[in-house]
């Protein structure tokens, strides 16, 4: 898996992180590190392009959640803490949709995982890139 970074201009600058490949236990920390670096560089509106992600595991869900938490200016739970990270995700999902990170074009298999896990309620999900960028 790799992540490419681009800044697109909408009403506000939007940092687009395009994820390429499986987002799982062997790759999720790379997405968290990229999100952390972009937030440290000033990103406050992030679009995660998942159109080239054929598979996402629970570790990948932790990475998506961590990106949202970082954009909120908070410290995400330690992903190595196991169930603590999942309990934190569950509490955040219950609080409703966050606005700093949005998802673009998850493949059907990824969308099923987002739906099943409840993460589809936490993220605004778009299928059109221009509309996603304009939504910030």
- Which CATH number goes with the domain that contains 27? 3.30.750.24
Query: Parallel, antiparallel, or unpaired for β 46-52 and 13-20?
Result: parallel
Q: Which residues constitute the domain of residue 9?
A: 2-134
Q: Which residues of the chain have pLDDT under 50?
A: none
Token output for 48: 């995660």
**Is 56 in contact with 110 (CB distance < 8 Å)?**
yes
Upper half-sphere CA count for residue 51 (Cβ side, 13 Å): 12
In the chain, how many domains are there? 1
Query: Parallel, antiparallel, or unpaired for β 13-20 and 2-9?
Result: antiparallel
Which of 4, 99, 115 has the alpha carbon at shortest distance from 49?
A: 4
């Amino acid at each position: 898996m790799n992540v490419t970074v681009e800044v697109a201009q909408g009403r506000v600058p939007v940092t687009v992180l395009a994820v390429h490949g499986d987002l799982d236990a062997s790759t999720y920390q790379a997405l968290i590190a990229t999100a952390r670096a972009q937030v440290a560089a000033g990103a406050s509106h992030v679009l995660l392009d998942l159109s080239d992600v054929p598979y996402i595991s629970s570790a990948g869900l932790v990475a998506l959640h961590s990106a949202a938490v970082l954009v909120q200016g908070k410290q995400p739970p330690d992903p190595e803490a196991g169930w603590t990270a999942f309990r934190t995700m569950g509490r955040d999902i219950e609080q409703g949709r966050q606005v700093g990170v949005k998802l673009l074009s998850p493949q059907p298999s990824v969308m099923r995982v987002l739906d099943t896990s409840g993460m589809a309620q936490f993220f605004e999900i778009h299928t059109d890139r221009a509309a996603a960028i304009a939504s910030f």
